Amino acid sequence: MTLSLFDDSIIDPTYFEKKLRSRGTTLVAGIDEAGRGPLAGPVVAAAVILPEHFDLPGLTDSKKLTEKKREQLFWPIRQQAIAVGVGFAHAEEVDRINILQATVQSMCRAVSRLKISPEHLLIDGITPLPLAIEQQTITKGDSRSLSVAAASVIAKVVRDRMMKVYARHYPAYGFEGHKGYGSAKHRQLIAEHGPCPLHRKTFAGVREHCD
């Protein structure tokens, strides 16, 4: 079931969580992803259930934070959260089922890896999940819900760390810098070396260099 809780005028980042708790729903999972746009690497999703009185100054949409700040927030979120789940969809799956469906799958996997079953999902974006859990999609949810913001930080930090590891396996592409996004330098390196197994071969910028 999808509920309509969204209001464009809302600025309190705990509004959605408070609204749900006021009716007795306490296990609320925020869900977000990192990596829909890159030319290489996985889509990583996170699901985070925060305690009622969670407070972490500076926590907001991960895209508004520096890499250093995200790293600083990562462990406090992990330590204070009731539960954290992370799900992945790798490049070959993105190519096989398309980026939207791969994102949905990664989010579902993140929810399935929570140690406690959530009663309600707050999902960044406009696409609901095919799960039998009450849920709400929230446009710009990573800026409007504290739970979703926490999930955005977890997903982004996990993905960035993965890309740094991949950079050691595929040093020709500079993944440690651009994290797989389509920077001019990255596109140049794809043209020079051809795609590697991490590249999304159905994406423009990659597919024209596939055999």
pLDDT tens digits, residue range 59-109? 988 889 999 999 999 999 999 999 999 999 999 999 999 999 999 999 999
Six token digits for residue 69: 């700040």
Structural domains in the chain, CATH included, are 15-160 (3.30.420.10)
Mean pLDDT score across all residues of the chain: 94
Whole-structure pTM value: 0.93
CB burial readout 40-71, b (16+ within 10 A) else e: bbbbbbbbbbbeeebebeebbbbeebeeeebe
pLDDT in tens, 176-189: 999 999 999 999 99
- Of the given ranges (8-17, 77-86, 159-168, 182-191), which has the lowest mean pLDDT? 8-17
pLDDT at 10: 54
